[in-house]
Amino acid sequence: MIYENEAYYIKKAALEHNIKKITLVSKVTSSIVIFLLLLEASFWFFKGTGGNGLPIAIWPYILLLLFNLICYYFTEIKRIAVDKENLLQMDRLIGMYVFALMSFGVLISLSDQSAYNHLMIYTLIMLVSCSFFVLNKRQILIPLGTAGAGLSFGLYIMHGNSPLYQSQMLYLIVLFPAGYFLSRSFYHSYKCSVIMQAELRNEVEMTRKLSKQLREANRKLEIQASLDPLTNVYNRRAVSNYIEYLENKAHEEPYYLSSVLLDIDHFKIYNDTYGHTNGDEVLRKVGRVLSDTAEKYNIFIARWGGEEFAMLIVDVDNRVNKICEEVIKKIHHLQIEHSTSPSDRIITVSIGAHTQRVCQKKDIMSCIDYADEALYNVKNNGRNAVGYKIVNNQRLS
């Protein structure tokens, strides 16, 4: 099964194909009819047959032209749509159309025609119906059988059991099965084509879905590979990638960069006192605070190593102090007990920050090194504070 209902899909595709072909057949048969009428009129005019009128009956042709005009209006101008609700009605409509088309062929063939073969129009209409439309057995057998019986009866009334009638019957006996097998051959070829297209469409859709899932999985893996599993902030690998991005940015235009390094005060003593399991929990809580800060200010934050974290802030606008003080305040509000800390009775952090103008690659690592020096000074002067320095603080033009 290609779809949940393969028969429905094939029938819908066939109906849409047939509706398009009705427009084409209406144009073609109308053109043929108009050409024949003009041809007969020209013969009649140049022969100068007087006022006896055309040698053919015009009214069947006029009816066929009107029929084609109506069909063209509904299929091309009004554009009938095929859906699940009207599928059966449209299927019957196609059968009625083919029946009507062949009936016009019979009607024209039985009219008084002296300029060409009596069965030419019927033959053309029948072959067009069998080779243009995707018809099931019922849709082709009913028109063929009804039209054949009507044509045979009409020809017998006109010619009796004459040699002409017998030759016409022989022609029709060959024509009917030829038309039927032509129709069935076209139906099966079209069905195979539709199934193949549906299978190809399914494969393309499945490939698209798998590609999307693969991209999503790769994106998740890439994110996971860039995150520290304990604190859920970026890791050193992500830092390296971000520094590479900053280096490329420096080649395009100068910018201001702030480097912020944060260290949990007396973390080794905390681990020795409370154990590494509680130490990991402290790292997780500090990580959550920093993650919230990164999301709020749209800045890059990573675990630099051990109990140390790094923040890299591009194009700062006097907000580094605010960010650092906010981080210290939030960690203080965690109220994580640290009874053996020489600085305080709860977990605190020390922060070193540095801002400078980045014009070339070496300025980035220089900024980080200066932040590290600032952090070292804070730790040597009592901890639980922010050390921040700005150099080259002229505005960028």
Domain spans of the chain?
A: 6-205, 236-390
Q: Whole-model pTM above 0.75?
A: no
Amino acid in position 312: L
Contacts 24+ apart (CB under 8 A), 242-245: 242/300, 242/302, 242/312, 243/312, 243/364, 243/365
pLDDT of residue 56: 62
Q: Are 261 and 372 in contact (CB under 8 A)?
A: yes
pLDDT of residue 79: 78
State the distance between the two ends of the chain, measured CA to CA, in whole angstroms: 66
pLDDT of residue 340: 92
pLDDT of residue 117: 64
pLDDT of residue 89: 86
Supply the CATH classification number for the domain 236-390.
3.30.70.270
pLDDT of residue 395: 41
Say which residues have a Cβ less than 8 Å from residue 238's Cβ, sequence separation at least 6. 226, 227, 302
Say which residues have a Cβ less than 8 Å from residue 151's Cβ, sequence separation at least 6. 106, 109, 110, 119, 122, 172
Q: Are 351 and 375 in contact (CB under 8 A)?
A: yes
Report the alpha-carbon distance of residue 289 to residue 291 in Å, rounded: 6
Q: What is the pLDDT along the chain (397 residues), one digit of tens a residue?
A: 444 566 777 788 888 888 888 888 888 888 888 887 787 777 667 765 554 555 567 788 888 889 888 888 888 877 777 777 788 888 888 889 999 989 988 888 887 655 556 788 888 888 888 888 989 898 899 999 999 999 899 888 888 888 888 988 999 999 999 999 999 999 898 888 888 887 887 788 888 988 888 888 888 787 778 899 899 999 998 999 999 999 999 988 899 999 999 999 999 999 999 999 999 999 999 999 999 999 999 999 999 989 999 999 997 667 898 999 999 999 999 999 999 999 889 999 999 999 999 999 899 999 999 999 999 999 999 899 999 877 654 443 3
pLDDT of residue 396: 38
Say which residues have a Cβ less than 8 Å from residue 269's Cβ, sequence separation at least 6. 338, 340, 341, 342
pLDDT of residue 376: 94
pLDDT of residue 397: 34
Q: How many CB atoms lie within 10 A of CB 240?
A: 12
SS3 percent helix, strand, coil of the chain, rounded to 5, is: 65, 10, 20
pLDDT of residue 308: 95
